[in-house]
Amino acid sequence: MARDYAADISDPVAGEIVSNVGVWVDKEVVPVASDYEHEDAFPQPLVDGMANLGLFGIKVPEAYGGLDLSFECYAGVCMELARGWMSLAGIINTHVLVGYAIQEYGTEEQRQKFLPRLVEPEIRCALSITEPDAGSDAQAIKTQARRDGDDYVINGQKMWVTNGQRAGVYLVLTKTDPAASPAHRGISAFLVEAGTAGFTSGKKFDKLGYKGVETTELSFDDARVPASALLSGEEGRGFQHVMSALEVGRINVASRGVGVAQAAFDDAIRYAQKRVAFGKPIVEHQAQQIRLAEMATKIRAARLLTLDAARKKDSGVRSDLDAGMAKLFATEICQEVTLDALRIHGGVGYSKELPLERYYRDAPVMVIAEGTSDIQKIVIARNLLRDYPV
Amino acid sequence: MNIIVCVKQIPDPETPAASFKVDEAAKKVIPAQGIAPVVNPYDPQATEAALRLRDADGGGKITVISLGPDSARDAIKHALAMGADEGVLLSDPGFDGIDNFQTATALAKAIEKVGEYDLILMGRAAADWDMGVVPTGVASILGIPVVSVAKGMEKDGAGLKVERVLDDGFETVETSLPAVVSISNEFGEPRYPQLRQIMLAAKKTVQVWSAADVGLGADEIGAANRWLPLEALYVPVVESNVEIIEGDTPEEKATALAQKLRAAKLV
Ligand SMILES: Cc1cc2nc3c(=O)[nH]c(=O)nc-3n(C[C@H](O)[C@H](O)[C@H](O)COP(=O)(O)OP(=O)(O)OC[C@H]3O[C@@H](n4cnc5c(N)ncnc54)[C@H](O)[C@@H]3O)c2cc1C
Ligand SMILES: Cc1cc2nc3c(=O)[nH]c(=O)nc-3n(C[C@H](O)[C@H](O)[C@H](O)COP(=O)(O)OP(=O)(O)OC[C@H]3O[C@@H](n4cnc5c(N)ncnc54)[C@H](O)[C@@H]3O)c2cc1C
């Protein structure tokens, strides 16, 4: 039975889109998500379904054949995808994020080359920042791109690349000037296409949750790319460009937190009315009502915070403070709410028969990837301090 | 081929029984709180059938009509988002309390006002009242053939070949056009609205026609003028009693059960 998850979307067309995606999720995703998840199998039919709806072109500008919808709409869509299965919102995340980086910072040649192919999508995108010895401290990356005539030659090792086996183009953060100070001035981002000689995608990680979508290593062994693969065509701008694109990723991950928490809550409030203990439905024990009220309040706050950050981004102003707060809050409450939903279900919640254990395992990646909660707090504090000069 | 699809908005059939209430004095269903109405599940299949025919035919227009309150606009928008071309909402305070025959009359009048049509598609029944009489009613008022409970169809010269669902199988019939065809769930899944189509549908205006716009007078519509007087409306009370059949052997138990069933005139 449909609850109106689009109620807080301010734009009516975006609201209709979110409702329609929700119907698709309820019918196509919810019944099969746990099966794919337990097998860690890539959900090709669901990805085809998302493509058919047009989700991969959601943020591509109309001039390049996309739908050019708002971030508010995108956030609502990601919440609904994650309500069915968090991994689907992850499959689309780096795609939209890299598409955004190309649109905002790419050269016209790069836009024309890639953006139309992202709509169908003919190719999907991955983002590769993290390395074995550099995660939160992204400026510590060692992968190097050395200019050689009209080309760059890339060498290095990347870790934790979501969509790392099936992407057609990878936005890869490298050092073009390892000696630069501050280090970010020596960092450049490249659009590396799958099939580039010397570029291979390696081992797929076996993860706690976030299954179905592959997260892999990447190796660059004298991988040669043309100079036209340098995002924006300018060396030393990659760090800024990727950090700006990560705002889009934070809106996505915040939305995932809302969606997974909502799914857990929806199951919990129904179960609490059916399960009887000590002679009455457990929901009639006031402790459970209080628990449900707290869960719902957290989810609502996270939803509004996330939509607010998305609308801020739509208005064109920098939104790293807002996106950071939304990501921090929504993913932290998602951990709490999924555990509370497990508690309400008692023993059956721990069984693989129900999706509660999946929600619970899917929550932690969101407080880690795309900037850990600690890093979000640092970003938030840095922004606040800028606003309070003394 | 120009096709008209009739779609109805109904209370969500997934509404839990506990939230389903009837005002017995007013003989009305009280809508469940906080549960949005939905499109009658068979009707998107009628829209899907229209889209497939239009695509196979390579042209023509699909007009969607719904009779209902302003919220029924959503049912029309859904069909437009699937790919239908135009929408008409028949809405009038005077329609409150109308019956199936008045609904069929109003839809037939609206269909005549739309004008050129080759085919009218409807759902096999509305999942709220589940009577399935509107398609036949519309056809009889318009004086055209009706084929009910269709699971498939294709253009056949100037007519249409329709595969029907029977109790014990299927049959294929031919009909001249224009005709009314009601679509059954066996037709297959309707398509999901694509984001691009939803955006296009949002730009289309749905025409709103009153009873007077389709030439219906106040003395023809509304609860006072029902053809089918509603005597009573209530949620039936279902009683169940459990009786354990005693016996030492399965044979004895079965014999005792058979005797009880015979006494109750059930076998
Ligand atoms: C499933 C999954 C998918 C991923 N997908 C991608 C991807 O597609 N592309 C990509 O590039 N990366 C991806 N990542 C990597 C992810 O972004 C990093 O794991 C994350 O940024 C943390 O980096 P790290 O693992 O190196 O942890 P570390 O940076 O080593 O952090 C370890 C701990 O130290 C804390 N810490 C670090 N610095 C500070 C500080 N200054 N102050 C306080 N505490 C600090 C952290 O908060 C954390 O608690 C993915 C990770 C996972 C788990
Ligand atoms: C505004 C309104 C007020 C009503 N008030 C009352 C009331 O007070 N008391 C009461 O008993 N009943 C009331 N009804 C219900 C009405 O009597 C019948 O339910 C209705 O006429 C349809 O009949 P059915 O459900 O048997 O449809 P069916 O014949 O089962 O429907 C078959 C198909 O006919 C088409 N169709 C049916 N109805 C419509 C429609 N409205 N618009 C477009 N296509 C349609 C659809 O394609 C549908 O799939 C009301 C209906 C409306 C629309």
Q: Hey, what are A293's tokens?
A: 């009220």
Q: How far is A279 from chain B (nearest CA, A)?
A: 20
Share the mean pLDDT of chain A.
97
List the residue whose alpha carbon is closest to atom 34 of ligand 2: B134
Question: Is A2 in contact with B194 (Cβ distance < 8 A)?
Answer: no
Of A2, A24, A55, nearest to B12 by CB-CB distance is A2
Buried-exposed string A257-292: b where 16+ CB fall within 10 A, e elsewhere: bbbbbbbbbebbbebbeeeeeeeeebbeeeebeebb
DSSP for residue B125: S
Nearest 5°: phi and psi at B175?
-135, 150
Buried-exposed string A304-316: b where 16+ CB fall within 10 A, e elsewhere: ebbbbbbbbbbee
- In tens, the pLDDT along A366-390 reads 999 999 999 999 999 999 999 999 9
**What is the C-alpha separation between A88 and A95, in angstroms, rounded?**
12
Closest-lying ligand 1 atom to the alpha carbon of residue A137: 29
Contact indicator for A22, A5 with CB cutoff of 8 Å: yes
The ranges assigned to domains in chain A are 12-119, 125-236, 240-387
Residue A228 pLDDT greater than 70, yes or no: yes
Residues of A designated as active site? 370
Residue A353's pLDDT band (cuts 50, 70, 90): very high
Q: Tell me, yes or no, whether B243 lies in a domain.
A: no
Is residue A136 lining ligand 1, measured as CB closer than 6 Å? yes
Percent of chain A with pLDDT over 90: 98
CA torsion, points B68, B73, B78, B82, in degrees to nearest 10?
Answer: 100
Q: Hey, what are B239's tokens?
A: 């009683």
Helix (H) or strand (E) holding A269: helix A238-274
Place of tokens 């719904």: B66
Residue A2's pLDDT band (cuts 50, 70, 90): very low
pLDDT value at residue B134: 97
Say how many Å lie between the CA of residue B126 and the centre of ligand 2. Answer: 7
CA pseudo-torsion sign B224, B227, B229, B234: negative
Average pLDDT over residues B184-205: 96
pLDDT value at residue B239: 87
- Which residues, 6 or more positions from B106, have their beta carbon under 8 angstroms from its beta carbon? B67, B90, B95, B98, B211, B214, B216, B221
- In tens, the pLDDT along A170-187 reads 999 999 999 999 999 999
Residue A152's pLDDT band (cuts 50, 70, 90): very high
Say how many Å lie between the CA of residue A362 and the centre of ligand 1. Answer: 16
Residue A65 pLDDT greater than 60, yes or no: yes
Specify the pairing of strand B62-67 against strand A276-277: unpaired
**What is the C-alpha separation between B1 and A236, in angstroms, rounded?**
61
Please give the interface size between A and B, counted as residue pairs whose CB atoms are below 8 Å apart.
Answer: 47
Percent of chain A with pLDDT over 70: 99
CA pseudo-torsion sign A20, A26, A32, A37: positive
- Which residues, 6 or more positions from A333, have their beta carbon under 8 angstroms from its beta carbon? A257, A261, A298, A299, A301, A302
Measure Cα distances from B238 to B230, B235, B241 in Å.
22, 9, 10
Ligand nearest to the CA of A172: 1
For residue B29, give the nearest of B14, B7, B42, B10 by alpha carbon: B10
pLDDT value at residue B267: 83
**What is the C-alpha separation between B68 and A159, in angstroms, rounded?**
57
For residue B164, give the nearest of B156, B173, B155 by alpha carbon: B173
Does the interface predicted TM-score (ipTM) exceed 0.85? yes
Classify B152 as helix, strand or coil: strand
Q: Tell me, yes or no, whether B58 lies in a domain.
A: yes
**What's the CATH fold of domain A125-236?**
Butyryl-CoA Dehydrogenase, subunit A; domain 2 (2.40.110)
Mutate to test the pocket of ligand 1, among A87, A130, A203 (most ligand atoms within 8 A of CB): A130
Buried-exposed string A7-20: b where 16+ CB fall within 10 A, e elsewhere: ebbebebbbbbbbb
Mutate to test the pocket of ligand 2, among B88, B90, B103 (most ligand atoms within 8 A of CB): B103
Question: Is A52 in contact with B195 (Cβ distance < 8 A)?
Answer: no
CATH number at B148 reads: 3.40.50.620
Please state the separation of Cα A370 from the chain's center in Å.
Answer: 7
Interface test with A, best of B12, B77, B198 (most A CBs within 10 A): B198
Classify B31 as helix, strand or coil: coil
- The model's pTM: 0.90
**What is the C-alpha separation between B148 and B154, in angstroms, rounded?**
15
Nearest 5°: phi and psi at A299?
-65, -40
Average pLDDT over residues B90-111: 95
**Crossing angle for the helix pair A86-105 and A71-84, to the nearest 10 degrees:** 160
Ligand nearest to the CA of B37: 2
Which residue type, as a one-letter code, is found at position B203?
K
Q: Which residues of B touch A49 (CB under 8 A)?
A: 192
CATH number assigned to the domain covering A12-119: 1.10.540.10
Which residue type, as a one-letter code, is found at position A248?
V
**What is the C-alpha separation between A186 and A179, in angstroms, rounded?**
7
Residue B235 pLDDT greater than 90, yes or no: no
Write out the residue range of the structural domain in which residue B66 sits: 3-225
Residue B223's pLDDT band (cuts 50, 70, 90): confident
Average pLDDT over residues A53-75: 98
Residue A1's pLDDT band (cuts 50, 70, 90): very low
**Crossing angle for the helix pair A238-274 and A356-368, to the nearest 10 degrees:** 160
**Crossing angle for the helix pair A320-345 and A373-387, to the nearest 10 degrees:** 140
For residue A21, give the nearest of A94, A67, A82 by alpha carbon: A82
Q: Which residues of A touch B77 (CB under 8 A)?
A: 16
Q: Tell me, yes or no, whether B152 lies in a domain.
A: yes
Measure Cα distances from A222 to A195, A198, A226 in Å.
13, 6, 13
- In tens, the pLDDT along A176-218 reads 999 999 999 999 999 999 999 999 999 899 999 999 999 999 9
Q: Tell me, yes or no, whether B230 lies in a domain.
A: no
Say how many Å lie between the CA of residue B3 and the centre of ligand 2. Answer: 20
Number of structural domains (chain B) is 1
Contact indicator for A291, A326 with CB cutoff of 8 Å: no
**What is the C-alpha separation between B162 and B152, in angstroms, rounded?**
6
- Write down the CATH superfamily of domain A240-387: Butyryl-CoA Dehydrogenase, subunit A, domain 3 (1.20.140.10)
